[in-house]
Amino acid sequence: MGIHTRSRHYLRSSDAKKIMKELGKAFDPSDIGDVFKGKPFELVTTDVCDIILVEDVPIIFMPDGEPFLTVRGALEVKPEARIVVVDAGATRFVVNGADVMRPGIVQADPGIKEGDLVIVIEEAHRKALAIGRALISGDEMIGDSGKAVKSLHYVGDAIWEVTR
């Protein structure tokens, strides 16, 4: 599944600041602030979603127009909020694009609300594996059955591969 690029251009710093401000609603601005400071944002418009490259790496994407970290962005920033932690058994499914099921979840940010974008990380090394949309709130995510997170983007997918 490739992505078709429609256009690409560098954003004005005022537009980049707006995007960072939006991201600051999901994450502590002090977590993300300095990682991208002074670096140009390149907007890539695709047939899937808009993606922002920082130094040729897809760092932010905008499913439904809402800016959020990509898996590479999450690996760079390592935020503490909007995190869903999965066990080793779930990891191999998540990295292949599977939705996250409740039995595989060992921890979830209680601040997550249904519909929020979340970062799925693995338990052992706390590395980001996928970005998804919460189907239930964070405090309901640990359980015996059912889907908790719809996967939108994962390691090695078309968004991960977007570069120059």
pLDDT tens column, 30-77: 777 677 878 899 999 998 899 999 999 999 999 988 999 999 999 999
Quick: pLDDT tens for 7-34: 899 999 899 989 988 888 888 777 776 7
- pLDDT at residue 82 is higher than 90: yes
Same domain, 73 and 111: no
Cα 39 to chain centroid distance, Å, stands at: 20
Q: What is the pTM of this model?
A: 0.93
Same domain, 89 and 151: yes
Half-sphere exposure of 152 (CA within 13 A, CB side): 22
For residue 136, being part of any structural domain is answered with yes
Structural domain tally of the chain? Answer: 2
pLDDT attached to residue 33: 67
